A and B are shown apart, each in its own frame.
Chain A
Amino acid sequence: MDTSRFVTLGEIAAEAQILSGKPKSKIHLFFQMITNGLRDLQLYHHKAPKRVLLDMSESYTVDLPDDFLSFIAIGIPINGKLHLFTEDNELLAIATTDPVYSWEDSIDERSTVSPGTRGGKNTDYFKIDNENNRIVFNSPSVRTEIILEYVSSGIDAAAETSVPVTMKMILISYALWQDGIFDTKTPYTQVGILKERYENEVEKLRMLEMPGIDSIRDEIRRSYRMSPKR
């Protein structure tokens, strides 16, 4: 049997510590740098949004998850597709249990857009209330089963975190680079080399996540329209 496609953060930290030549007593520092690297990777390089199913509270709010880093989209599932709500930054009032507005619960089919796009056209409006760590809604009714798509920290707070092995070398490179920055004995040129190595690893991950030729063909064919024969 081949080795697993997952590797724990602890294993990555151990490998980084061994490669650095630093004593075992520094392994916790490397673990910390690996977690920082994972957050950085999740936010800026790795395209793996997390989806969670949430219920609106009676006061038309949803608390942001603890691991929430950045917003992607929010909506409700209809016929297996995500129908997005519309962001309205002017939304001030938080609806009460007795909604002020009595809009019809009709969903515009055109609000189905690709992941990462926000602002569908429908009857539900939302605003991210970062200060109070929640999302507030103006909806016709208290909705259940809202799907929130967001960038997660990627770090499980309840158990040891595993990540795809494809991310291993990036995280090791990140930790070695950071170790080089904070270790004053590391020559400046060496820090530059370590940074370059990290950037190379990130580039490799981007290439790995680029759409394949079949995906590109599908996208092109999807845009074809039959024109009337003359």
Chain B
Amino acid sequence: MTKSEIIALVRNHISGGSVVGDLLHKTDPRVIELYVSAAYQDILYEVFRTDQSGLSLYAKTFTGVAVAADGTTGIYMSTLPAAIVQLPGVASAVRSIRFDVGTELVFVPLEADLMESMKMLDAGNYTVNPTIGYCLRGTNSIEFMNFPLAEAAETLRIDLVIPFTAFSASEQVHLPSGKVSVLIEAVIGLLTGRPRVNLKNDNAETENK
């Protein structure tokens, strides 16, 4: 399904009926997309907890990502081509990195602290160990270890798990099997919100449960 189809599906579901009432016309259309985005992120997290390798199915591939050496430190860095979903784990939402063409070197995610120490060892010397390590720096850049000088002009192909809002309307958004109805239910749950505070009982702040 495309992003706009998913939103249309959700909108259709909340446009009336005995269960949800008419939530559609009570809600700003832009807010609906944000709620879908929140529900989508929850589903991705559930996939992450079940099987991390499964996340690659929901990643989007970006090609032509440049690598540049920092002028002062000489450290090789790349700027992420899109915003990513924040996921626990070493690789977070960066599911795979490869060169666009040619060289078949392996990229491996590393913990930031481990990478700092690793640079002082044999394993952190790219002439000895041609496996390239990477870690996320901040929210929008990747730092590399053992990046070979000879490949500095090459571009990268990166698979990222991006938030729902980062997809264009006509783009295919993959939902895990059996999770479409979960997504709709989750959005309805978010839109319905918590019941109002019961003020009848002497203004006591007792919530309906």
A interface residue numbers (CB < 8 A to B): 9-10, 13-14, 23-25, 27-29, 31-32, 35, 155-161
Most buried by B among A28, A29, A32, A161: A28
Give 1 or 0 for each of B162-178: 1 = CB within 8 Å of chain A CB: 00000000000000000
A14 vs B131: C-alpha distance when bound (angstroms): 10
Min CB gap B127→A, angstroms: 6
Query: Main secondary structure on chain A at its contact with chain B?
Result: helix
Contact, CB under 8 Å: B110 / A25: yes
- The A-B contact count (CB < 8 A) is 55
Out of B90, B122, B128, which one reaches A25, CB within 8 Å? B90
Q: Let me know if B81 is at the binding interface, CB within 8 A.
A: no
- Known contacts A23-B90, A35-B122; decide if A28 and B109 are in contact (CB<8 Å): no
Contact at A158–B131, with CB atoms within 8 Å?
no
CA distance A35 to B125 in the complex (A): 12
Q: Which 10 A-B pairs have the closest CB atoms?
A: A31-B123, A32-B123, A25-B90, A28-B123, A35-B122, A25-B109, A31-B129, A27-B108, A32-B121, A28-B118
- Contact yes or no, A28 B110, CB < 8 A: yes
Q: Note all chain B residues with C-beta closer than 8 A to A14.
A: 106
Shortest A58–chain B CB gap in Å is 32
* Shortest distance between the CB of B115 and any CB in chain A (Å): 8
Given contacts A25-B108, A32-B121, A155-B122, contact A9 B127 (CB under 8 A): no
**Contact of A160 with B128 in the complex, beta carbons under 8 Å:** yes
**B131 neighbours in A (Cβ, 8 Å):** 10, 13, 27-28, 31
Cβ 8 A contact of A32, one of B91, B109, B122, B127: B122
- What separation, in Å, do the CA atoms of A27 and B130 have in the docked complex? 12
